[in-house]
Amino acid sequence: MKTFRIVSADRMEAEALYTALVRKKQFRVLPVLRDGRELLERYMEERTDVLLIDLELPGIDGLEVCRRI
């Protein structure tokens, strides 16, 4: 099963998407993250097959996160 991670500063939208993905049971959905730095730290520990990253994250923005990954 593929692993999916949502990284978004918008809590309501992220939680709605998280709930929809969990219900479909097509992915193992990891807990939502809200910060680019935290994503980079965790990504090295637990590789994710699919990342949905908000471009306007606090800390390190989504584009910089993509460059570093």
| CA 47 centroid distance within chain | 11
Q: Which amino acid is at 29?
A: V
Per-residue pLDDT of 25-61, as tens digits, reads 888 999 999 999 999 999 888 888 999 999 988 889 9
Residue 34 near residue 11, CB atoms below 8 Å = yes
Output the pTM of the full model. 0.84
Per-residue pLDDT of 11-20, as tens digits, reads 899 999 999 9
Neighbouring residues of 13: CB distance < 8 A, sequence distance ≥ 6: none
Place of tokens 């309501």: 12
Return the SS3 of 40.
helix
CA–CA dist 12, 34 (Å, integer): 12
